[in-house]
Amino acid sequence: MTLDKLAIGAKAVVAKLNGEGPVKRRIMDMGITKGTEVTVRKVAPAGDPIEITVRGYELSVRKHEAALVEVK
């Protein structure tokens, strides 16, 4: 399952980051790494962006970036 498929209020642990280059680096710079707990706070009506909480920080992630983050 990927981060963009989680329901609002759901918590998950990052299992794997897909993609490469600048997009993967941007995701990692936000603190989203393997083993990190992520909570989905809200999703915009069109599904983009997705607001999440990571390590106590509230972040907005684009839907195509969230699709690269596998969670369990």
pLDDT tens profile 8-63: 999 999 999 998 899 899 999 999 999 999 999 999 988 889 999 999 999 999 99
Domain count, the chain: 1
CATH (domain of 42): 2.30.30.90
Whole domain around residue 14: which residue ranges? 3-71
Strand ranges (E), 1-72: 11-17, 37-43, 50-54, 57-61, 69-71
Which pLDDT does position 48 carry in this prediction? Answer: 85
- Give this prediction's pTM: 0.87
CA-CA distance, 71 to 63, in Å (whole number)?
A: 15
Strands 11-17 and 50-54 come out as unpaired
